[in-house]
Amino acid sequence: MLIQVKINFNVLQNYCFYMNKTARAKFIVNFLEDLYPKTPIPLQHDNIFQLLIAVLLSAQCTDERVNKITPLLFKYANNPKKMKNIPVEKIYEIIRPCGLAPQKSKAISLLSTILVQKFQGNVPESFEELEKLPGVGHKTASVVMSQGFGHPAFPVDTHIHRLAQRWGLTNGKNVIQTEKDLKKVFPKALWNKLHLQIIYYGREYCTARGCDGTTCKICKTCYPNRNKPFKTKK
- The end-to-end CA distance of the chain, in Å, is 60
The answer to whether 229 and 214 have CB atoms below 8 angstroms apart is: yes
Of 35, 31, 25, which is closest to residue 204 (Cα–Cα)? 35
Q: Say what the pLDDT of residue 12 is.
A: 38
DSSP assignment of 89-150, as one string? HHHHHHHGGGS-HHHHHHHHHHHHHHHHHHHTTPPPSSHHHHTTSTT--HHHHHHIIIIIT-
- Does pTM top 0.75 for this prediction? yes
Q: Say what the pLDDT of residue 3 is.
A: 42
User: What residues act catalytically?
Assistant: 139, 157
Residues 6+ apart with CB under 8 A from 56: 104, 107, 108, 135, 136, 140
Range 168-196 burial, b when 16+ CB lie within 10 A, else e? bbbebeebebbbebbeebbeeebbbbbbb
Name the phi and psi angles at 72, rounded to 5.
Answer: -70, -40
Q: Say what the pLDDT of residue 172 is.
A: 82
Please list the rounded mean pLDDT of every run of 10 residues in the chain (234 residues): 41 54 96 98 98 97 97 98 98 98 98 98 98 98 98 96 97 93 98 98 96 96 94 87
Q: Say what the pLDDT of residue 14 is.
A: 47
Domains and CATH numbers, the chain: 20-37+154-222 (1.10.1670.10), 48-148 (1.10.340.30)
Half-sphere exposure at residue 189, Cβ-oriented, CA atoms within 13 angstroms: 0
Instruction: Using alpha carbons, list the distances in angstroms from residue 19 to 27, 28, 221.
Output: 10, 12, 10
Q: Say what the pLDDT of residue 71 is.
A: 98
Widest pairwise Cα distance in the chain: 89
Q: Say what the pLDDT of residue 19 is.
A: 80
3-state secondary structure 115-128: HHHHHCCCCCCCHH
Q: Say what the pLDDT of residue 18 is.
A: 60
